[in-house]
Amino acid sequence: MTAVHENPSRVLTPQEQEWVDKFMDETTLFLGPDPEIMRDHGIAPRSDHEELAIAAGVDRLEVERIRKRIAGALDEGYEMCEAQGAAPGAKWGDLTTAIYTASGDVSYLSCHGVIAFSAILHHPIRYIMKYWKDEPTVGINPGDGFIHNDARFGNVHNTDQSMIMPVMRDGAIIAWVAATIHEGENGACEPGGMPSGSETPFDDGLRMSPFKIVESGELRRDLLTFLQHSVRDPKLQLADLKVKITAVRKIMERVDAVIDEVGVDTFVAALRTTVEDVEVEVRRRISELPDGTYRFDQFMDSTLKENILIKFACKITIKGDQMTADLRGTGPEILNRAINSPLCSVKSMFMQAILAFWWPDLPRCTSAMSCIEIISDEGTWADASYDAPMGQSLQASFRGFSAFQALYSRMSFSTPHKYSNVVANWFNQINTFLWGGVTQHGDMVGNLCADLNGMPGGAKPFRDGEDSVSPLFCAMADTAEQEVMEEEVPFMQLVSKRLVRDNMGFGKFNGGMGYEMIVAAEGTPQWGFMTVTSGAKFSSVYGMYGGYGCGTYPLAMVKGTNVYEHIRRDPSKFDLSIEKVMNEQPFEDGRYSTYHMGLQFDIAKDGELYMISQGAGGGYGDPLERLPESVVRDAELGRITQKVAEEIFGVRYDPTNFRLDVEGTEAARQAAREARLRRGRPFAEFCEEFVTPEPPESLHYYGSWGSDTDDITATVFTIDGPERVSAPLAELPIVMIPDRREVRIAELEARVLELEATSGVEVKRLA
């Protein structure tokens, strides 16, 4: 109901209210995201059709047969997208296909692909049903297809594009089929679709609310042209749009055949019972977990432009078969930085954790999270408002994944039945290069390296984590072949995949290691790289039960030189690693620098080096309990340095022959344990010493300080500079961070004034 004003004495009559509503409907500026749709992740109530279909009786075995056939159809569609897709994401597995109930609940996903892509599409489907179904200028008819990418309307991030088509019988919508692909390029302020530099929502690139682009089976050329015109890679936009349409149609052919065979009602009942079965099973599994409250707070160290510390708070409470996840205490949104995420994107990664890590045997269905209550206040960086830029929403949503992954390991630690392994945190950052420019073939492109898919796995209670394995968001995703990449883009990975010594979460069992990548452009008139990662100052992944987290890692660059020329002149200089290049600085004319991992698009000249590394999976258990023989083996293989073997693992060995010094090790470990006891404090004493009423003054901190407060601490910038404030979220001022170039200019100008004052020289300024 819309009120004319807020004066309670002027209550409208029903007739007046009707007039007002009609006026308001007719004068709506535009239809933005609908909070009623966007805040709700529960499954829809049974529709009348579903009630009738289920009341008529459900043959469980027939439903199983229908599911199998639908699964086959979805896998067909998936394979077609993967084979035909032009986007790197499609090629290496970042896509899904799924079928939804008429209300938009995912009933079944393809066996492979990104769960989160499909687990979030109920939002745009409900939007289409609510706003476009009965809209005379739009409507929904057989053969129609809707495209969508804007995370504000329900998407992981704006680089993913979906094609959503209705399954209709006798004029009624009885289901939806959709395909989603991580397309990459989307016309954002930086190439590749995930701009770390976006400062307004308009920098995020295409912002497609769900709209009809396929009408009665025909792809609308006018809209296609608009989209192609709006992105850097119009070929990609065209080719992949066709791929998604073809795949969805193929799936629909199979679905139609099933409906023809079993009838509409049985089909509708099958989709719905699948969704409901999963919800019931999830409640049962929740009830297996011990009651209690479990907390896991994380901190991000960067806006991808500045160093800050911003909190992602997550507290799960279980009571019986009820689970509540409370995100309050999370830092506020920053209205001119790209790290904000809509809540739906964070929830989609909760879903990823549930379906891929908690219960990978569970059918892949929206209802897996339907009964979990999420408490969150809009206005945080994990629950950002409409006006916040979201180019790097993964920063918040991947932390949502990590929170759920870590918390389940704790919740399920003592349960007798495990659905998969307890595992320390998977690496959770997109450590790869995004790139853009003109290729050696003359094409304008923008996208990313599939190396992001090599995320190291967390350690298990009985085994080390896997080195750079599939990413947290997609099982069986592929890191691809560098030779294939080099055919298409004008840069080489001079170091492609080499594990970095000591780059693991240490523990009784170590987290998986990550690899380094060193790239340099070659033979291109215009090229550039960017990186979009946090964790360069404060680890993004923590260990478990005494295990260490991932180390921090910098972006390192050598600019102002052409290493190709150096190597041609002196082949011995082709001996690259981040460690070696930065320590030995072998290219005399190079400018060596390190940087946090949020590099905005940076123009790369031929032969300039950009160097990054994957992080590591979290370690499990106390490193002092690791088998000394395993430590020595790691040292012999070059996985760890002697320093780490000695200082972290307390192991002594002869570095010339890698023979374990048993006695020396026992003594070193005993000494380390005694040192721990000496360092130890009673908890109250520890709190007395370490807990402070507020964060260090120099730290730009965002989020609750401590757990028992409703206040959020934030650093805001006034005309007098940064100022710390603390208040309930709703009362906080808007948080924006000044343009760092302006800040730098101001610093330099102040320095110039200072020098003028001390030297007596007056600098000539341009008007």
Partner 1 sequence: MKRISVDIGGTFTDCFFVWDDLYVDAKALTTHHNLALGFNEALDLACSRAGLDRATVLSEVDSVRYATTLGTNALIERKGPKVAAIVTHGFEDTIPLSRGRGYGEGLDYTMQQNLPAAERPDPIVPRSMIRSVKERMNSAGKVVAPLDAEDVRKMVRELVNAGAEAIVVSLVNATENPAHELAVQEIILDEFPPHELGAIPVLLGHQVSGRKGEYVRATSTIIDGFLHEIMFHALSQLSNNLRDSGYDKPMLVIHNSGGMAQMNSTDALQTIHSGPIAGVSAAEHLSTETGLGHVISTDMGGTSFDIGLVPEGGVKHYDFLPTIDRWLVSVPMVHLDTLGAGGGSIASYDRIHNSIKIGPESAGSNPGPACYDRGGLRPTVTDADLLLGYLDPDNYANGYIKLNPRRSRFAIEEALADHLDMEVLDIARVIKDGVDEQMAIGIGKELRVRGYLPEDFTMLAYGGNGPLHACGIARHAGIKRVLAPPFSSVFSACGAGNMKQLHFHERGVHVTMYNATTRALYDRYEDFNAVVAELEARGREDLVRQGFDAADVRHRLEVDMRYGNQLLTQAVALEDLSRIDGVGDVLEIIKTFGDVYSHRFGAASAAPEAGIRCSTVRVASYVDGDVVNFEPLDSGGERTEPTPVARRDVHFIGHEDALDTPVYDQDALTHERVIHGPAIVTTENTTFLVEPGWRLEPTRQGAVWFLQD
Identify which of residues 332 and 618 has a Cβ nearer to partner 1 in the complex: 618
- Residue 188 CB, shortest distance to partner 1, in Å, is 19
Burial class (CB in 10 A: 0-12, 13-18, 19+), 288: middle
Identify which of residues 244 and 652 has a Cβ nearer to partner 1 in the complex: 244
Residue 487 carries which side chain, given as an amino acid letter?
A: E
Q: What is the 3-state secondary structure (H, E, C) of 535-573?
A: CCCCCCCCCECCCCCCCCCCEEEEECCCHHHHHHHCHHH
In terms of Cα–Cα distance, which of 195, 199, 173 is closest to 186? Answer: 195
Q: In the structure, how many helices (H) and strands (E) does the chain have?
A: 20, 27
- Residue 284 CB, shortest distance to partner 1, in Å, is 9
Q: What are φ and ψ of residue 73, in 5° steps?
A: -65, -40
The end-to-end CA distance of the chain, in Å, is: 56
- Residue 540 CB, shortest distance to partner 1, in Å, is 18
Identify which of residues 467 and 502 has a Cβ nearer to partner 1 in the complex: 467
Identify which of residues 340 and 367 has a Cβ nearer to partner 1 in the complex: 367
- Residue 235 CB, shortest distance to partner 1, in Å, is 4
Tokens representing residue 497 in the block: 């995949």
Residue 150 backbone zone (phi > 0: left; psi -120 to 50: alpha; other: beta): beta
SS3 content of the chain, % helix, strand, coil (to 5): 35, 20, 45
Identify which of residues 654 and 747 has a Cβ nearer to partner 1 in the complex: 654
Identify which of residues 300 and 499 has a Cβ nearer to partner 1 in the complex: 499
- Residue 192 CB, shortest distance to partner 1, in Å, is 14
Identify which of residues 61 and 730 has a Cβ nearer to partner 1 in the complex: 61
Identify which of residues 14 and 442 has a Cβ nearer to partner 1 in the complex: 442
Q: What is the 3-state secondary structure (H, E, C) of 63-112?
A: HHHHHHHHHHHHHHHHHHHHHHCCCHHHHCCCEEEEEEECCCCEEEECCC
Ranges of H-type helices in 612-727: 628-636, 642-647, 662-679, 683-690
**Residue 671 to residues 159, 534, 641, 668, 677: CA-CA distances in angstroms?**
52, 36, 20, 5, 10
- Coil, strand or helix: which one is 29? coil
Residue 686 carries which side chain, given as an amino acid letter?
A: F
Identify which of residues 252 and 310 has a Cβ nearer to partner 1 in the complex: 252
Contact between 619 and 504 under an 8 Å Cβ cutoff? The reply is yes
Identify which of residues 361 and 708 has a Cβ nearer to partner 1 in the complex: 361
Identify which of residues 37 and 90 has a Cβ nearer to partner 1 in the complex: 90
- Residue 680 CB, shortest distance to partner 1, in Å, is 33
- Coil, strand or helix: which one is 165? strand
Say if strands 172-182 and 95-101 run parallel, antiparallel, or are unpaired. Answer: antiparallel
In terms of Cα–Cα distance, which of 397, 375, 387 is closest to 323? Answer: 375
Contact between 436 and 528 under an 8 Å Cβ cutoff? The reply is yes
Residues in the chain: 767
- Residue 585 CB, shortest distance to partner 1, in Å, is 19
**Residue 249 to residues 110, 142, 246, 255, 256: CA-CA distances in angstroms?**
15, 11, 5, 10, 10
Identify which of residues 342 and 471 has a Cβ nearer to partner 1 in the complex: 471
- Residue 460 CB, shortest distance to partner 1, in Å, is 7
Identify which of residues 463 and 740 has a Cβ nearer to partner 1 in the complex: 463
- Residue 682 CB, shortest distance to partner 1, in Å, is 36
- Residue 571 CB, shortest distance to partner 1, in Å, is 5
Identify which of residues 90 and 644 has a Cβ nearer to partner 1 in the complex: 90
Q: How far apart are CA 251 and CA 166, in angstroms?
A: 12
Ranges of H-type helices in 511-661: 563-569, 578-584, 628-636, 642-647
CA atoms within 13 A on the CB side of 131: 21
- Residue 422 CB, shortest distance to partner 1, in Å, is 8
